[in-house]
Chain A
Amino acid sequence: MFHWLEKHPFFFSVAVFLVISFAGLVEILPNFAQQSRPTIGTAPYSTLELAGRHVYIKNSCNACHSQLVRPFKSETDRYGHYSLSGEYAYDRPFLWGSKRTGPDLMRVGNYRTTDWHENHMKDPASVVPGSIMPAYRWMYINNTDINTAFAEQLTIAQFFSVPYNKPVPMKDGSSIIVKMGGSVAEANALALEEAKVIVADMKDQDVKDAVARGEIPEIVAIIAYMNSLK
């Protein structure tokens, strides 16, 4: 059988394929049968948060920051409760990262404020002396792409039944509703409302002016996203 395979490239390829796909079949496929279920208290991202997540991805923040707290005392002391699978149920793609050049951000919303982020993104070393993180000043100028975030909300609501405009159970027994616009104009209005809450805590006059004009600089979106990480 072996020597026969070696002289028949087609069947050889089939054999190789079977051998290499075996691990995938056993390891991965069965887990998909069990759709990942959100933990109680995990809600879908709002329009502005999702747009902020896009800003995070666009700038490859995940190249240096993980979003995965491992179950060690040193990590739970530093970052909070260890990660649970269901907390990632709405993360497409996942953003665990593979390198912690900077600290983990899984629960950064618990201990950093809008004000902190604003100063930090403008000049990291002034907030954290010795920091090697670069400044992200273009985020104060570039506007956020709300439309694409809205398109993603529409897509995940349709294809993956992400519960927008539906009650989502919280840990204290109450429930919240994450709103999604019914049209592009409505989505932008929703995002702007969220943005106004964020800029209320910000100092940068240009950013405040932009939001007053109805624009949303990237910094506002990414802070909204950071604050949602809990």
Chain B
Amino acid sequence: MENHPLEYDYTVAKMFMLTTIILGIVGMLIGVILAFQLAYPGLNLMLGEGLAEYTNFSRLRPLHTDAVVFGFTLSGIFATWYYIGQRVLKVSMAESKLLMFLGKLHFWLYLVVIVAAVVSLFMGITSSKEYAEFEWPIDILVVVVWVIFGAGMFGLIGIRREKSLYISVWYYIATFLGIAMLYLFNNMAIPTMFGVSDIGESGVGVWYHSVSMYAGTNDALVQWWYGHNAVAFGFTVPIVAMIYYFLPKESGQAIYSYKLSLLSFWALMFLYLWAGGHHLLYSTVPDWLQTMGSIFSVILILPSWGSAINMLLTMKGEWQQVAASPLIKFMVLSSTFYMFSTLEGPIQAIKSVNAIAHFTDWIVGHVHDGTLGWVGFMIMAALYHMAPRLFKREIYSKSLMTAQFWIQTVGVVLYFTSMWIAGITQGMMWRAHDEFGNLAYSFIDTVTVLHPYYVIRSVGGLLYLIGFFMFAYNIYKTMSARKVEESELQNATPMGA
């Protein structure tokens, strides 16, 4: 064996980076199509009457959410884990054949799950539960993938050189545990092929169908305990892990207060799980759970802002970097959006506000300022930071990156402002009564009034998608840009004009 100096091995990180970009394009493209379908329903037939079943809004809707959650975001989480994990534990995956094997197995099995999920959702095979649409055979595969991810994670931690675990690793561990617990409990189902008829027939009907273990209100309770916390452990916890690594690293600044980051971690872990009840306000779940959901949602502002403020203060005295580097811009705006949507969420969780906001587009707007602004920006920033270090080349174009930043920012602003107006308008119209106490509007009045906002939202989404294509192109060109030395990669990422 030749005596190469030991280096971090980013093979698996590169693989997941690829799926992050591809599935990001797929998920966001479907999202834009859906947005235009709401504004112009004729687009439901965009591929003709024959394929209407597969281009229809309702068939595409779960594909959009699952592609961005389980495709784009999850790939981004995996890609950054296989990058950050090695670095903060100061151990290379090249040091263990087993970990390398697990990493690659993780990727390929993940790809199998994605393909199976896409095909099944197009066919309309779904359990109907949001973000948990997959039927049991895919669920089992998901669990296997997740266990492999965890085994690789704890394996790497096991052979680490750094005794203490960096705060990002805490968050990755929490992601692993949280999703594992939630996914298992929410997807409990009995395959219907076990049903036996009076004359002894079994295995009747399609083999992949199953029926939920929980009924009605209980099912709703478990689903939104899951749904809300899938957001917690998919869209918050791992993204916080990313920003706690990439912002200090890129800016060269130590975290403003490491102690605050530890504190926020425990507070977030404890509080987040209670807040799921705010999805079920005024429903048939017990009142105390609804109230608890409201209260904990409001308290949740504290740990969320603890992390976000910690990030912004990390830039204290270094604000010129925000002007100078588009990469820092992405991250600073990202944590600003985090503050913004973690304030907006609790407001919507207040019972009287929720009475208007629930079931309207305001909720859709809230989800998207979180996902587009916070999750999307952070994952793209992470990939921009990683790409030069994975390929030992500078970022292809800084000006393209800046242009992308502004285009996407305008996109997000158009998106959430139009959805606010749409949501509140619709919420108010639903509840309006005339002077005789009759309903003032028929339902369709409250739909047609939304048309201009649906158009604005579509344009906002389209801008974001265009920005994402610019991102993909920039990363693609980075693979053949100017080579850089190790010394250029210490902090600020090298970028070409």
Contact = CB atoms under 8 A, between A and B. Distances in A.
Do the two shown chains form a genuine complex with each other? yes
Interface of A: 6-7, 9, 12-13, 16-17, 19-24, 27-28, 31-32, 36, 57-64, 66, 68, 70-75, 77-78, 83-103, 125, 128-138, 145, 147-160, 181-184, 187
B181 A182 contact: no
Given A57-B126, A91-B216, 13 more contacts: A12-B165, A17-B181, A19-B266, A20-B273, A60-B126, A74-B431, A85-B284, A86-B216, A93-B127, A94-B223, A132-B38, A137-B49, A183-B199
A163 to B, nearest CB: 13
Contact of A19 (B196, B270, B284): B270
Closest 7 CB pairs of A and B: A88-B216, A154-B195, A148-B205, A23-B273, A182-B198, A134-B44, A58-B124
Interface string B168-195: 0010011001100100010000101111
Interface in B190-222: 190, 192-199, 201, 204-206, 209, 211-212, 214-222
B22 to A, nearest CB: 24
B225 A147 contact: no
Interface stretch (B326-334, B355-363, B373-381, B394-402): B355-363
A88 B190 CA distance: 19
B157 interface: yes
Interface string B349-389: 00000010011110110000000000000000000000000
Interface string B127-154: 1111000000000000000000000001
Nearest to A71: B282
B344 interface: no
B283 interface: yes
B206 to A, nearest CB: 5
Nearest to A97: B359
B362 to A, nearest CB: 11
Contacts of A95: 128
Nearest to B215: A92
Given A88-B215, A94-B216, A184 B201 contact: yes
Contacts of B201: 183-184
A94 B215 CA distance: 7
A129 B444 CA distance: 8
**Most B CB atoms within 10 A — which of A89, A96, A149?**
A96
A90 B216 contact: yes
Interface stretch (B6-14, B56-64, B316-324): B56-64
Contacts of B447: 101-102, 130-132
A155 B211 contact: yes
A84 B284 CA distance: 6
A189 B295 CA distance: 53
Pick from A27, A70, A136, A182 the residue with the most CB of B within 10 Å: A27
Given A19-B269, A57-B128, A148-B209, A135 B52 contact: yes
B448 interface: yes
Given A70-B282, A89-B215, A159-B190, A154 B41 contact: no
B16 interface: no
Interface string B40-77: 01001100010011001111011000000000000000
